[in-house]
Chains A and B, each alone.
Chain A
Amino acid sequence: GAVVSQHPSWVICKSGTSVKIECRSLDFQATTMFWYRQFPKQSLMLMATSNEGSKATYEQGVEKDKFLINHASLTLSTLTVTSAHPEDSSFYICSARGKGIQPQHFGDGTRLSIL
């Protein structure tokens, strides 16, 4: 089946640090990639959608200057949390999909803790 790899799986860093999370589709070309955030005991919240080679589209309330998304190739998207603060601590999950009616496939998530 389709595999999406997300790295790192967890990260702990100091407040003010910028953190980059990678999302790769390993066995298919991802025309679209998505980034979600999930707080404890809550459902996934879509943050942004990106198509290869174009700017990401952010959901309402998500700061685009805070959460930088790059989708430079059909197999790689990155999310950079800039100047992270404790309130940015969360579980970040990426997903990717190919063309047509193909379903999204998700990475295993990155648990981010900002001290």
Chain B
Amino acid sequence: DAKTTQPPSMDCAEGRAANLPCNHSTISGNEYVYWYRQIHSQGPQYIIHGLKNNETNEMASLIITEDRKSSTLILPHATLRDTAVYYCIVRVPTDSWGKLQFGAGTQVVVTP
């Protein structure tokens, strides 16, 4: 699986957009980008995934650069409940049964 690099922490203000970067410069052509988040003492929550096109759902938007070497998760209007550790993972979805390897992620703290 391609390795990802994320900043260890980010602060953002409530109500503002939160832009979370992820670098995956060694991504291969059939690897997808997945984003999960883990709120303290809970299991991870799936947010969004994509291959090369930008994606949007009710939670967030995923912007993938044209060369696919990096991506940005956008939380359009951050709330206090968005405080969590955010994980960016790249992998072939059906390879090795689709198992995920979690890195350290980005600790996002949303402040009032």
Contact = CB atoms under 8 A, between A and B. Distances in A.
A44 B44 contact: yes
Interface in B68-112: 87, 93-94, 96-105
B43 interface: yes
Interface stretch (A60-68, A75-83, A93-101): A93-101
A93 B98 contact: no
Q: Chain B interface mostly helix, strand, loop or mixed? A: loop
B43 A108 contact: yes
B73 to A, nearest CB: 14
Interface of B: 32, 34, 36, 38, 41-46, 49, 87, 93-94, 96-105
B84 to A, nearest CB: 13
A103 interface: yes
A36 B32 CA distance: 21
Contacts of B42: 108-109
19 contacts: A1-B46, A6-B43, A32-B98, A46-B102, A57-B97, A93-B44, A95-B43, A95-B44, A97-B98, A100-B93, A105-B46, A106-B36, A106-B44, A106-B46, A108-B42, A108-B43, A109-B41, A109-B42, A111-B41
